[in-house]
A and B are shown apart, each in its own frame.
Chain A
Amino acid sequence: MNSFPIIRVITKLLIPYILLFGLYVQFHGDFGPGGGFQAGVIFAAALILYGLVYGLPAVHKVAPPKVIEKLTALGLLVYAGTGLACMLLGGNFLDYDVLKHGILTENHFLPEGQHLGIFLVELGVGITVTAVMTMIFYAFAGRERVTS
């Protein structure tokens, strides 16, 4: 799409806002509509938009396929790791009430307990969804048309 300057410029203008909105949805998901699933999809949409307009090599520089592949597993590990941390602290698996640290909890500067657990879990979901969606796009876009 090199020949469409308007699309290229508009895309460049839009992508920061899409990413910012993705972050808002991710971290504000406990308070308003949103959460890891939506934020992951929005983040992936930003990367896919970049890939569609600027070509696959450009988006591979921003988000290398190797990193994306590792991130898919990382998100799941963050999720399961939160559960295991709860177990290590003496609670049940994914029982966030034990996640208490007592540092700077005034006015929820740092969340703790259920807030912290939900935050970590949503983060894990967000990472996995972003990475999987981006990876699926790479898989489809990286495949050239067959000649038959």
Chain B
Amino acid sequence: MTDFLGLYNYWIVIFLMMTGFYIVIARENLIKTIIGLNIFQTSVFLLYITMGKVTNGTAPILKGSHSGESHGAEGHGAESHGAEHGQELHSAAEGHLDSGVEAVTEIYSNPIPSVLMLTAIVVGIATTALALALVVRIREEYGTIEEDEILEMDRNS
């Protein structure tokens, strides 16, 4: 049972994703469709972000490196370890080793999903704005934003 509980983040994301998908396919109002796409999109962001999380990790903003001064590489190798150093820490914890070295290491969550999603969010708002602009134009041309009515008009013309 505990094997499956570790996957709860995916299930939450899938639930949200399917809600968005449902809105997209079940509703015929164009604005509602865009809202559904937005919900779907946010769930994809969440999917990526949950994958980057490491247990007991912290945000990938390095401690120990001071903002004002430039530091050499060698001074910081001990303090700031990467996310996958959680791996070593993990195995160390399993073997019940108590070492002072592990106590100082920080575990950082993976920064790469953050980077990808950061740009995706801003591109997402740009494309959403484009979609909304098209909706405004459709309303001006057809007088409605209901999908089936628009299709009806197209067929009759």
Contacts and interface: CB of A to CB of B under 8 A. Distances in A.
Nearest to B59: A33
Given A37-B119, A140-B132, A143-B136, 19 more contacts: A31-B61, A32-B61, A33-B61, A35-B118, A37-B118, A41-B122, A41-B125, A107-B68, A108-B68, A108-B69, A129-B122, A132-B126, A133-B125, A136-B129, A140-B133, A140-B136, A146-B139, A146-B140, A148-B140
Contacts of A31: 61, 67
A39 B59 CA distance: 19
Given A37-B122, A41-B122, A139 B70 contact: no
Interface of B: 59, 61, 67-70, 118-119, 121-122, 125-126, 129, 132-133, 136, 139-140, 143
Q: How large is the interface on A (under 10, 10 to 19, 20 to 34, 35 or more residues)?
A: 10 to 19
Interface of A: 31-33, 35, 37, 41, 107-108, 129, 132-133, 136, 139-140, 143, 146, 148
A37 B140 CA distance: 32
A139 B133 contact: yes
A32 B65 CA distance: 12
Given A37-B118, A107-B68, A108-B70, A148 B143 contact: yes
A71 B61 CA distance: 31
